[in-house]
Each structure stands twice: as structure tokens, then as C-alpha cells.
């Protein structure tokens, strides 16, 4: 047989086999599509993930805080377990968030019952039906003539009285809440104001607009176009199932901003104007964690003369402020260097001076590398810093013929 004929026959056989394989693969794909089209993917996925419904109390979660302020399981005594159900990260995360909301309410109760703080509604002239927020104040916050302490938390899900939700759940109430600061401040004669900078809006369920979602029966789309669209939707559902196994749709919500308190910066400025500045206290002290430090610098830019006249010292803990980015003028930068100290996350021992080349304000180690722990680890140093600041101010304003000015900067030999 000639070579040319052999090659032709071989090619013909190869092409035929390829066509048969392609046809078989096409039939398999068609069968798979037909199977998927008859499976209710939503129902299938619901069987894979438990409902996103969780208890509304600590008792319902079977957890409670023990005498050391640690969250423990009421039966096993074990700490909180995040991965309650394996391979269901979203469900575990939603469970954690639900517990976090209960923790927030629990901290509010402690502020009111144990610390004897009361709520003040914001805005102060709010209508009955408009979104509102609130802060906490001590009984003497607006009458104490000597000292007032203001606590400003960082950003995120934390609310009034909290430094870090994760610490409250995984460590204890002392490290994660502002309660130790409040109690000691009251013992040392301070009035107290607790800000709530992350309560910026009212979350409500979003009502769908029927006009934007016409039903398939009333649609003017051609049947062929609708079929292609349904096929794409089914593919998205399948991809979603394979990748995340997230079956349950969450409620669509929208946020209605709270008037004059829609951001942490707005909130801090509002509380200054309507509460802090109205206090008769001659000496105001501020503790500002993380984003709270940025909010304070913004306050100072907006109310520089008032802040300089009333605030004696500011203790920042791992503050994220930036005097250059925030465009603080030279007089503000000079004031910060003299009256502020920033306890930052660092492996160095507590109160060790770090980053001396930065000129915004003195930075010392909080004795921990964990950002959220910086406030608690620097607790005693902060109160000593405030005490020294008051002594410095009294020396400056004394009637002694010779007065000396000692810097408010944190010095290693003072600690």
C-alpha cells in the first residue's frame, strides 16, 4: 500500500475517533447540565449549613464571665471556641458576631450598674423618630471642678466601654474593656466621659423596590434571553456552592447616618462642644486608643485654643494619628510633643523610649507587641503620666517667685 494512502487512512481514523470522543464529552456535559437544572441548589446548600440563628443571651450560648472576668463555658469551663463547626467559617463567624453583640450589651450593663455611669443621648436635641447614639458620663462629669477624664476607643465593632472585643471574649474584661480605667479614675477624683465613636448610623432592613425586579412572567425579555440568563444564574449558584458553601441569604440593610455624629471625628468634636467643653473641670485628661488618637488630633485642629487651654495631658495607645497627613500646624505639633505620650506596640520593656527620631510626640513601649493590648498594659503608666502632668501644671501656675517647667514627656527614670 502506498505511503500516501496509509497516511490518509490513519488521519481519517484519528479524526473519527476524535469526533466520537468529543461527542461523548458533549453528551456527558449535557447530562450534567440537565442534572444540575433539576437540583434546587438553594435547598441543597441549606442542608449543608445550619441556620444563621443564634441565642440572644449569654445563658443561651452557655457562656458566662467568672470571678476573674473570663468568659467560660458554663458546663465545661473551657474558653470560647471559634471553630464550633468545622469547615463552616461563615457560620462560625456569624456566631462570633452574634456573641459580640451580646457582649456589647453586657458591657453597657456593667457601665451602668457597676460603674454608675448614665447615658446621654446624641444628638442632644434629637427628634423622637431620628437615628440616635449615646455616650456614658459619670454623675459628676459636668460638675467636677477639678479633673475630667475622657476615654476614646479605636475604630471597628467596639462600642462605648470597650477597647477590643477579641480581648473580652478570649482574655478577660479587664484587658478588653475600659472598666478598670473608669473605676480608678473615679477613685482618684476624676469625672468621666466615655465616648462612643463607632455608633455612627442606624442600620435598617432595606426594602426592595419591586419596579427594579420584574418577575419573569411579566418581563418583556425574549424567552431565549431569559433562558441564557437563568443558565448564568445557575452557574453562579453552583460556583458559590463549590467555593463558599454559603446557602443562606442575609438581609439587605442600609445605614442612616446619625446627625453630626456620622464619623468618629464628627462624634468626638460633637461631644467636645456639647459636653466636655461645658464641664467646669480645670484639668482635662484624655486616653485615646488607635483611631481615637487620630480623632483627638482632628479635634485639636478644629478647636486648638480651647484644647490647649483645658487639656493637661493626652495618653495615646498605639495611635494611628499622623500630624503631617492631618495637616496639624507647628503650634499643634509643639503642644503634642509637650503634653502627649504614645504607648506603642513594641517588644521593648514597658515605658522604654522608642522611635526617638519621630517628632510628633514621645513614643514609648507599651510592653506588648499586640495592638489591642496596649491600653491595658500601659494602664498604670498612664495614670502616673497624668499625675505628673498635674504636678507640672500646678508648678507653672503657683505663686512662687521662681517657677520651673518640667516636661510632660515620659522619662525612663520616672517610671
Picking from 193, 192, 153, 188, the residue whose alpha carbon sits closest to that of residue 383 is 188
pLDDT at 405 over 90: no
Q: In this predicted structure, what is the pLDDT of residue 248? A: 61
* Range of 27-31, 36-40, 197-201, 222-226 with top mean pLDDT: 197-201
Between 232 and 279, name the one with better pLDDT: 279
Residue 181 · residue 292 · CB < 8 Å:
no
Q: How far apart are alpha carbons 328 and 360 in whole angstroms? A: 10
Between 260 and 36, name the one with better pLDDT: 260
Which residue in 290, 345, 346, 375 is the catalytic one?
290
When pLDDT is cut at 50, 70 and 90, the band that residue 46 belongs to is very low
Which domains are assigned to the chain?
119-200+258-398+405-414 (3.40.50.1820)
Q: What is the DSSP letter of 158?
A: -
Residue 164 · residue 214 · CB < 8 Å:
no
* Range of 86-95, 251-260, 290-299 with top mean pLDDT: 290-299
Q: In this predicted structure, what is the pLDDT of residue 413? A: 39
Q: Is 133 assigned a catalytic role? A: no
Residue 382 Cα to chain centre, angstroms: 23
Residue 135 · residue 271 · CB < 8 Å:
yes
pLDDT at 43 over 50: no
Residue 336 · residue 361 · CB < 8 Å:
yes
Is the bond into 93 cis (omega within 30 degrees of 0)? no
- pLDDT tens digits for 176-211? 999 999 999 999 999 999 999 999 998 777 776 665
Which residue's entry shows cell 449569654? 58
The b-or-e profile of 12-49 (16+ CB within 10 A means b, else e) is eeeeeeeeeeeeeeeeeeeeeeeeeeeeebeeebeeeb
Q: Is 254 helix (H, G, I), strand (E, B) or coil?
A: strand
Global confidence as pTM: 0.77
Q: How far apart are alpha carbons 77 and 11 in whole angstroms? A: 75
Q: In this predicted structure, what is the pLDDT of residue 406? A: 42
Residue 265 · residue 298 · CB < 8 Å:
yes
Span 347-363, mean pLDDT? 88
Query: Mean of the per-residue pLDDT values for the chain?
Result: 84
Q: What is the DSSP letter of 409?
A: S
Q: In this predicted structure, what is the pLDDT of residue 55? A: 87
Q: Strand pairing partners for 314?
A: 286, 340
Is the bond into 50 cis (omega within 30 degrees of 0)? no
Q: In this predicted structure, what is the pLDDT of residue 260? A: 96
Amino acid at each position: 500500500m502506498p505511503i500516501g494512502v496509509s497516511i490518509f487512512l490513519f488521519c481519517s481514523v484519528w479524526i473519527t475517533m476524535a469526533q466520537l470522543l468529543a461527542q461523548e464529552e458533549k453528551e456527558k456535559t449535557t447530562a450534567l447540565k440537565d442534572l444540575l437544572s433539576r437540583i434546587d441548589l438553594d435547598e441543597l446548600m441549606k442542608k449543608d449549613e445550619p441556620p444563621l440563628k443564634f441565642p440572644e443571651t449569654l445563658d443561651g450560648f452557655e457562656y458566662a464571665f467568672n470571678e476573674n472576668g473570663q468568659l467560660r463555658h458554663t458546663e465545661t469551663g473551657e474558653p470560647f471556641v471559634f471553630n464550633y463547626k468545622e469547615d463552616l467559617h461563615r457560620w462560625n463567624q456569624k456566631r462570633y458576631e452574634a456573641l459580640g453583640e451580646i457582649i456589647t450589651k453586657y458591657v453597657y450593663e456593667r457601665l451602668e450598674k457597676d460603674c454608675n455611669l448614665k447615658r446621654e443621648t446624641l444628638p442632644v436635641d434629637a427628634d423622637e423618630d431620628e437615628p440616635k447614639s449615646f455616650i456614658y458620663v459619670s454623675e459628676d462629669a459636668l460638675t467636677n471642678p477639678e479633673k475630667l477624664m475622657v476615654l476614646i476607643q479605636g475604630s471597628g465593632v467596639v462600642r462605648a466601654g470597650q477597647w477590643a472585643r477579641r480581648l473580652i471574649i478570649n482574655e478577660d474584661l479587664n484587658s478588653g474593656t475600659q472598666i478598670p480605667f473608669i473605676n480608678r479614675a473615679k477613685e482618684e477624683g476624676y469625672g468621666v466621659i466615655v465616648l462612643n465613636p463607632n455608633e455612627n448610623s442606624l442600620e435598617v432592613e432595606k426594602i426592595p423596590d419591586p419596579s427594579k425586579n420584574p418577575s419573569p412572567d411579566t418581563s418583556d425579555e425574549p424567552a431565549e434571553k431569559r433562558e441564557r440568563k437563568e443558565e448564568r444564574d445557575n452557574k453562579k449558584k453552583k460556583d458559590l456552592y463549590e467555593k463558599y458553601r454559603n446557602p443562606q441569604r442575609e438581609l439587605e440593610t442600609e445605614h442612616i447616618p446619625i446627625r453630626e455624629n456620622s464619623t468618629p471625628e464628627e462624634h468626638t468634636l460633637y461631644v467636645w462642644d456639647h459636653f466636655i467643653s461645658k464641664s467646669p473641670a480645670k484639668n482635662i485628661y484624655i486616653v485615646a486608643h488607635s483611631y481615637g488618637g487620630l480623632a483627638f488630633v482632628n479635634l485639636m485642629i478644629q478647636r486648638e485654643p480651647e484644647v490647649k487651654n483645658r487639656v493637661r495631658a493626652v495618653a495615646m495607645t498605639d495611635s494611628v494619628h499622623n500630624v503631617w497627613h492631618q495637616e496639624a500646624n507647628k503650634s499643634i505639633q509643639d503642644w503634642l510633643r509637650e503634653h502627649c505620650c504614645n504607648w506603642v506596640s513594641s517588644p521593648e520593656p514597658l515605658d522604654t523610649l522608642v522611635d526617638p527620631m519621630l517628632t510628633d510626640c514621645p513614643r514609648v513601649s507599651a510592653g506588648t507587641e499586640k495592638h489591642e493590648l496596649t491600653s491595658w498594659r500601659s494602664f498604670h503608666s498612664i495614670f502616673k503620666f497624668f499625675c505628673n502632668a498635674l504636678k507640672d501644671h500646678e508648678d507653672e501656675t503657683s505663686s512662687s517667685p521662681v517657677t520651673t517647667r518640667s516636661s510632660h514627656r515620659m522619662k525612663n527614670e520616672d517610671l
